[in-house]
Structure 1
Amino acid sequence: MMAKCIQTDMECAAICYAAAQLMSLGSEKSKEICRLCTEICDQCADECEKHSHDHCRECAEACRKCADECRKMVGSHY
């Protein structure tokens, strides 16, 4: 039941870490990875919002905030 949620959480954490690393290096690919990070964070939030656990609600909120910050980085409103 929670397998998809856990998988999505792990993917989200991995892409967020990678995005932060590339941004800290001043990478030319930062905007591209932020676009992908936005998509994955939104997917993670959508999945977590399906569950009533407190940790899922907190995760969804964090993912939405991260997606919003990534949108600011790429200057997009998708």
Structure 2
Amino acid sequence: MNSTYEECIKVCLECMEACNSCYDACLTSEDVKMMASCIRFDRECADICALAAKAMQSNSPFAKQICQLCADICETCGDECKKHNHEHCQMCAESCFRCAEACRKMAS
């Protein structure tokens, strides 16, 4: 496996976990309707992070494109999570922005 991928893979997997935790916590929220966008983006983001990590691990010829898309989705998810005061949303937003940055570097 390409060692330049290692850090990015780690950040992607951390982001995936943060999104899954946020998703789960949002589902138990008093006002699930208000959290609908957050929940939707958490799912999208967790999925693309998992795919990006897998693409880098297998040295996919599409790794750069997938990382670029991952960065865009992470950014969107982070922006949404940032709007909510729940601790899990704030932590998720941080993780998303970190991942977006790592994936952008990888894609460039």
Q: Same fold (TM over 0.5)?
A: yes
Q: How many residue pairs get matched?
A: 75
Higher helix share: 2
Unaligned stretches of 5+ residues in structure 2: 1-33
Q: Deviations over 1:8-45 (max 9, x none)?
A: 00100000000000110001100000010000000000
- Counterpart Cα distance in 1 of 2:66 and 2:107: 9
Structure 1 runs of 4+ aligned residues shifted over 6 Å read none
- Counterpart Cα distance in 2 of 1:37 and 1:57: 19
Q: Indicate which of 33, 36, 41 corresponds to 1:3.
A: 36
Match of 1:36 in 2: 69
> For the aligned residues, what is the CA RMSD?
0.5
TM-score (norm 1): 0.94
TM-score (norm 2): 0.68
Identity %: 55
